[in-house]
């Protein structure tokens, strides 16, 4: 390129980056020549030289296909995206490579990582530390000296179960997410573990234990919620379903609707998350609100500050709150 315009490489660079350090005439000549031969500065080379990419990585615990199917992530990415929009960052979605989040890290050219849903640390944290790239864990079990953002899952679950107990429900079913094979080895972890702990808390106050409630563990899709609910109703005379995510609650409502069971007259249903759709559902869903978009925003904010070298509070716990709508009511005969 420099040759084509008959100038030095620096002149070319100045033409593109520092117009003031070069005469207008030369600049025009260079730009014209560039246009002529179709020259354009290489993005990667610029990034390498600048030592920054203007891009935030989102390290995801599942395949892109699964993530994009999940309204929870849509909302989380909306929040993170808001900050990126503002600050001129792009967002690199990085799913596991050959089942491993760790293996995906070296292929992401980004200025920082938002690490989503890391339940068992297989070295991801130390790999990130080794790279000296800023990062923040979202919804993981907090670790000493590792920046993280989470929500009060336990408190939320406690509150919603208490709400049902106060309404007189005693025959409860918990529609839970299948923790996968790891559970056997390590027990419940992450948000699921905390939510279950919250349920146990609430039950204890009523002199109950998990043995007193029905438990179904299924993958986290609407159809799974639907199927599990049908199975549950066939087995048990229950008066309330505590779904550990709104999506599962949607599926439960589908099943109840189809079977002609009145909600909340015969059976109450509660969710967890408060997705946008939950308020559109009929009956409108009683659920635990977590500020998903805020979580995304907070994560991106933290990261961008860290990238700029500003110090930030390393741990954040966002609150949850019970949103009582129309899908929960007094237990029949209460």
Binding site for DNA (CB under 7 A): 1, 7-14, 16-18, 20-23, 26, 40-42, 45-46, 48-51
How far apart (Å, rounded) are the C-alpha atoms in residues 167 and 184? 34
Q: Which does 10 bind (CB under 5 to 8 A by kind): a copy of itself, DNA, none?
A: DNA
Task: Produce one character per residue of 132-165: b if its CB has 16 or more CB atoms within 10 Å, e if not.
Answer: ebbbbbbbbbeeeebbbbbbbbbbbbbbbbbbbb
* Burial bucket for residue 274 (CB in 10 Å: 0-12, 13-18, 19+): buried
Min separation Cβ 29 and DNA, Å: 9
271 binds a copy of itself (CB under 8 A): no
The footprint of a copy of itself on residues 226-255 (CB under 8 A) is 250, 254
Sole residue written with tokens 């066939």:
234
Q: Dihedral, CA atoms, 46, 60, 120, 270, nearest 10 degrees? A: 150
Candidates 22-30, 48-56, 157-165, 188-196: pick the segment binding a copy of itself (CB under 8 A). 48-56
88 binds a copy of itself (CB under 8 A): yes
How far apart (Å, rounded) are the C-alpha atoms in residues 229 and 234? 8
Q: Which does 8 bind (CB under 5 to 8 A by kind): DNA, a copy of itself, none?
A: DNA
Residue 54 region by backbone torsions, left for phi larger than 0, else alpha for psi between -120 and 50, else beta? left
The footprint of a copy of itself on residues 170-229 (CB under 8 A) is 222
Q: Which does 77 bind (CB under 5 to 8 A by kind): a copy of itself, DNA, none?
A: a copy of itself
Q: How far is CA 273 from CA 106, 297, 313, in A?
A: 32, 16, 25
Residues that bind a copy of itself (CB under 8 A): 38, 40-45, 47-48, 53-55, 63-65, 67-69, 71, 74-75, 77-82, 84-85, 88, 90-95, 97-98, 104, 106-109, 127, 130-132, 222, 250, 254, 257, 277, 280, 282
């Amino acid at each position: 390129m420099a040759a084509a315009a008959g100038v030095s490489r620096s002149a070319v660079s100045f033409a593109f980056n520092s117009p003031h350090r070069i005469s207008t005439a030369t600049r025009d000549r260079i730009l014209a020549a560039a246009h002529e031969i179709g020259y354009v500065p290489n993005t990667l080379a610029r990034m390498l030289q600048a030592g920054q990419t203007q891009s935030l990585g989102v390290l995801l615990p599942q395949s892109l296909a699964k993530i994009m199917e999940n309204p929870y992530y849509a909302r989380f990415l909306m929040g993170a995206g808001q900050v990126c929009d503002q600050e001129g960052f792009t967002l690199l979605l990085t799913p596991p490579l050959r089942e491993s989040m760790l293996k995906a890290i070296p292929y992401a050219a980004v200025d920082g990582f938002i690490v989503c849903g890391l339940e068992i640390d297989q070295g991801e944290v130390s790999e990130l530390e080794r790279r000296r790239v800023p990062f923040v864990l979202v919804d993981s079990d907090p670790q000493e000296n590792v920046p993280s953002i989470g929500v009060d899952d336990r408190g939320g679950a406690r509150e919603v179960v208490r709400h049902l107990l106060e309404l007189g429900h005693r025959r409860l079913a918990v529609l839970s997410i299948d923790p996968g094979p790891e559970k056997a080895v390590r027990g419940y972890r992450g948000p699921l573990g905390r939510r279950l702990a919250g349920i146990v808390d609430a039950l204890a106050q009523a002199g109950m234990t998990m043995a007193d409630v029905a438990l179904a563990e299924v993958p986290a899709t609407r159809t799974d919620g639907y199927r599990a609910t049908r199975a549950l109703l066939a087995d048990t005379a229950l008066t309330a379903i505590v779904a550990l995510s709104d999506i599962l609650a949607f599926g439960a409502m589908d099943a109840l609707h189809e079977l002609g069971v009145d909600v909340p007259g015969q059976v109450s249903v509660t969710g967890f998350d408060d997705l946008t759709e939950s308020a559109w559902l009929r009956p409108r869903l009683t659920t635990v609100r977590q500020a998903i978009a805020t979580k995304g925003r907070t994560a991106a904010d933290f990261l961008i500050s860290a990238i700029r070298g500003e110090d930030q509070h390393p741990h954040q716990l966002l609150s949850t709150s019970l949103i009582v709508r129309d899908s929960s009511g007094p237990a029949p005969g209460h």
